[in-house]
């Protein structure tokens, strides 16, 4: 990330939202709203004096809200760029930061800035959202946590500096249960397999076991899907650390209101017995969801979105990073749940795909495009509404087709009441002639 920000050819715009995208491959125009940090980006040197003096603590989102951080500060210590920002909605505006800042970088009058850019190609990498279940007591029982929260607990720069403790009372953990497929393979949330949770759970369990061999650790799974390179070996080896794998998803979790320990009920489906055990922590391997903002971006770009909210690739197997819009590629979890290795290879593929038209300086298009008979067209606008690629606009009461955005799908020709739009190579007369030839 640091390297990216330092690269002379890379302009990094953070804390910003894309508001509008127009144009086509090679000539996209993007309107971006850059939200204020209330800290001058040019002068702030990240010394941290303001954060030290700030009296307001807010939940630390990077630490899965397990720890706290100051209202002014970095979202997390490796954040790029290392420029401090104020979370305005929580700020009391006591202005202690203003007093201590030697560079006079604090500026409460900053307003959202609008930036307009001309862009050749676009890569959509909106990432993922983690599923938060409403069952298994998540949110009500403090000792039921997600895989993500466990990772923060284990991290040396996490809220407990790597100490694995019960959330409820900070006591040592003796027994942990992992539940797989929480929200994945589940009609109540997402029917798909999130693909990485098995390996994430095994990785986290192994980490726990390496640091605390005395902790009793069981993974309750339906199927262990260790499908990528070396994953099966990793899974087999994890058993040597003493991690127990029980085939059967936990049915219910009950909390003792006094000790806050959790009693789990599950069926060991292989031994066909009831498991009734008391544990200190329950870790849920929750599903990967699409980013909620994906829908907005898809509307702006004219991309397709599947029923789960992921972007649709041009072809699942043969063009996995291309989209139906020329010059727009997708990568990573924007297109579906993915492991880091897969996301990286997709990112590299997307980068090359995006470079291709820029280096060539030209794009080839097919000639099957919509043609407007300007004499007949009355400019009713039905075609513009029907076009899935936003390729038709109405100018001077006439439809105008953008031949680069147009994909020749024919939706416009179908709805035009005066038959003013036809497709090149598929004009009515041509089709009539073909039918005649066939009928002879």
Partner 1 sequence: MTIKYNPNTCAQCGVCSGNCPLFTDLKLFSPRIAVYGTSIGYTISKDFLKQCLTCAACYTNCPMQINLPEAVREERAGLKEDPFCFAHKGFFHFLDKIMVSNKIWPRLKIWLPSGYKTSENNDIGYFIGCLPYLDIFFKDIGFDGKKIVQDALSILNKLGIEPVLLRTKCCGHDAFWRGEYQIFENLAKQNIEMIKASGVKKIITTCAECYRTLKIDYEKFDFNIEVLFISEFLEKHFPNLRFKPSEIKIGYHDSCRLGRHLNVYDSPREIIKAIAGTNFTEIMRRRENSLCCGVSAWMNCDENSKLIRTQKINDARKAKVESLIVPCPKCNIHLNCLLSEEAMKNTNLKVQDLTSFISSHFEGLR
Binding site for partner 1 (CB under 8 A): 135, 181, 185-188, 222-223, 247-252, 254-255, 257, 264-269, 272-274, 276
| Cβ distance to partner 1 smaller for residue 273 or 418 | 273
Residue 195 gets the label, from left (phi > 0), alpha (psi -120 to 50) or beta, of left
Sign of CA dihedral 212, 230, 192, 351: positive
In angstroms, what is the minimal distance from the CB of 227 to partner 1?
17
105, 251 in Cβ contact below 8 A? Answer: no
| Cβ distance to partner 1 smaller for residue 135 or 426 | 135
| Cβ distance to partner 1 smaller for residue 21 or 181 | 181
379, 369 in Cβ contact below 8 A? Answer: no
| Cβ distance to partner 1 smaller for residue 26 or 248 | 248
How many beta carbons lie within 10 A of that of residue 422, not counting itself?
20
In angstroms, what is the minimal distance from the CB of 176 to partner 1?
18
In angstroms, what is the minimal distance from the CB of 403 to partner 1?
47
Question: CB-based burial of residue 297 (10 Å sphere; 0-12 exposed, 13-18 middle, 19+ buried)?
Answer: buried
What is the C-alpha separation between 431 and 440, in angstroms, rounded?
14
In angstroms, what is the minimal distance from the CB of 149 to partner 1?
22
For the chain, the straight-line distance linking the first and the last C-alpha, in angstroms and rounded, comes to: 68
| Cβ distance to partner 1 smaller for residue 52 or 268 | 268
Question: Between the CA of residue 346 and those of 321, 391, 394, what are the distances in Å?
Answer: 7, 28, 38
| Cβ distance to partner 1 smaller for residue 77 or 272 | 272
In angstroms, what is the minimal distance from the CB of 278 to partner 1?
13
In angstroms, what is the minimal distance from the CB of 303 to partner 1?
30
How many beta carbons lie within 10 A of that of residue 97, not counting itself?
27
In angstroms, what is the minimal distance from the CB of 181 to partner 1?
7
| Cβ distance to partner 1 smaller for residue 13 or 274 | 274
What is the C-alpha separation between 284 and 180, in angstroms, rounded?
6
For residue 438, the Cα-to-chain-centroid distance in whole angstroms is 52
């Amino acid at each position: 990330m640091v390297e990216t920000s330092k690269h002379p050819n890379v302009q990094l715009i953070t804390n910003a939202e894309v508001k509008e995208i127009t144009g086509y491959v090679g000539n996209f125009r993007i309107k971006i709203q850059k939200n204020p940090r209330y800290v001058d980006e040019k002068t702030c040197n990240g010394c941290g004096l303001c954060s030290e003096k700030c009296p307001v603590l807010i939940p630390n989102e990077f630490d899965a809200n397990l720890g706290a951080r100051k209202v002014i500060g970095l979202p997390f210590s490796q954040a790029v760029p290392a420029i401090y920002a104020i979370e305005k909605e929580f700020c009391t505006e006591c202005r202690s930061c203003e007093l201590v800042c030697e560079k006079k970088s604090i500026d409460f009058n900053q307003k959202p800035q609008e930036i307009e850019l001309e862009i050749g190609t676009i890569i959509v990498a909106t990432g993922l959202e983690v599923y938060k279940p409403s069952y298994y007591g998540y949110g009500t029982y403090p000792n039921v946590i997600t895989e993500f929260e466990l990772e923060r607990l284990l991290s040396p720069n996490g809220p407990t500096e790597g100490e694995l403790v019960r959330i409820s009372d900070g006591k040592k953990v003796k027994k942990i249960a992992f539940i797989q497929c929480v929200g994945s393979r589940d009609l109540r949330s997402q029917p798909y397999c999130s693909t990485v949770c098995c390996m994430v759970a095994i990785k986290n369990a192994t980490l726990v076991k390496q640091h605390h061999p005395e902790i009793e650790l069981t993974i309750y799974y339906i199927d262990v899907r260790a499908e990528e390179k070396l994953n099966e070996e990793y899974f087999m080896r994890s058993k040597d650390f003493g991690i127990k794998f029980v085939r059967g998803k936990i049915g219910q979790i009950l909390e003792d209101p006094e000790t806050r320990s959790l009693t789990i009920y599950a069926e060991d489906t292989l031994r066909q017995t009831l498991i009734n055990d008391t544990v200190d922590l329950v870790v849920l391997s929750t599903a990967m969801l699409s980013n909620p903002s994906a829908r907005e971006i898809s509307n702006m770009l004219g991309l397709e979105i599947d029923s789960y909210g992921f972007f649709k690739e041009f072809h699942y197997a043969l063009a996995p990073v291309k989209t139906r819009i020329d010059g727009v590629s997708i990568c990573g979890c924007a297109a579906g749940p993915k492991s880091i290795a897969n996301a990286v290879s997709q990112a590299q593929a997307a980068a090359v795909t995006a470079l291709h038209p820029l280096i060539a300086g030209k794009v080839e298009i097919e000639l099957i495009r919509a043609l407007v008979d300007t004499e007949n067209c009355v400019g009713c606008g039905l075609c513009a509404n029907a076009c899935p690629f936003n390729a038709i606009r109405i100018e001077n009461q006439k439809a105008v087709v953008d031949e680069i955005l147009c994909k020749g799908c024919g939706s416009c020709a179908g709805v035009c009441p005066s038959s003013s739009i036809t497709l090149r190579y598929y004009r009515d007369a041509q089709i009539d002639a073909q039918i005649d030839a066939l009928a002879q």
